[in-house]
Amino acid sequence: MNEQDEYVEKTKRLLKSYNALRVTLANQEARIQLKKYELGLGEAAPISKYGDAPRGGSQELNAVEKAAARRITIEETIGRLQAEAQKTRYAIDTVDRCLRALPTDEQALVREHYFDCLDWRSIGESRHYSERWARQRGHEAVERIARMIFWGVQQMELDFLLEE
């Protein structure tokens, strides 16, 4: 398999997972909101007691330290979740940008096959064309999307060739 075919296969996998990515992003954002809510709840840290007792305040300080450790853990979790959501959002936005760059009829082919899970025969029939026509046009659209996504890689290769 050559490199271009590899890019096309990666693009097909990305398109096939588009709906799942949208659900994943929604779930990630919901988890972030839940963690922020937990962070907002906080814990009332007790006030330290100082008095005549030789061990006054030791339990309260442990509770304060425990609350601080919990807060740090939640903040770290929020940061990790936000980073994961950003990667997911980037993948979705990449597909959306590429689709917008295609002609309307090619956008529809890609959406119907990869997002709506229609087979090429049904897509061709709905447009009064053959399955072969739908498959070929869909493949051309996916190749264009792959070039848009992986243009940087291909461009670096072109730059290398032009420098010689």
pLDDT at position 4: 81
Above pLDDT 90, what percent of the chain?
67
Where in the sequence is the domain holding 130, given as residue range(s)? 3-47+60-163
In this predicted model, what pLDDT tens digit does every residue of 129-156 receive, in sequence order? 999 999 999 999 999 999 999 876 555 4
Residue 130, CA distances (Å) to 3, 105, 109, 143 in order: 30, 15, 13, 20
Rg (CA), the chain: 26
In this predicted model, what pLDDT tens digit does every residue of 32-56 receive, in sequence order? 999 999 888 866 555 555 555 555 5
Whether 37 maps to a domain, the answer reads: yes
How many independent structural domains does the chain possess?
1
Whether 53 maps to a domain, the answer reads: no
Q: What are phi and psi of 52, to 5 degrees?
A: -75, -20
pLDDT at position 159: 54
pTM: 0.76
Residue 4, CA distances (Å) to 143, 153, 160 in order: 9, 11, 17
Q: What tokens does 89 get? A: 């959002």
Query: Which stretches within the chain are classed as H helix?
Result: 3-16, 18-41, 58-101, 104-110, 120-126, 131-149, 151-163
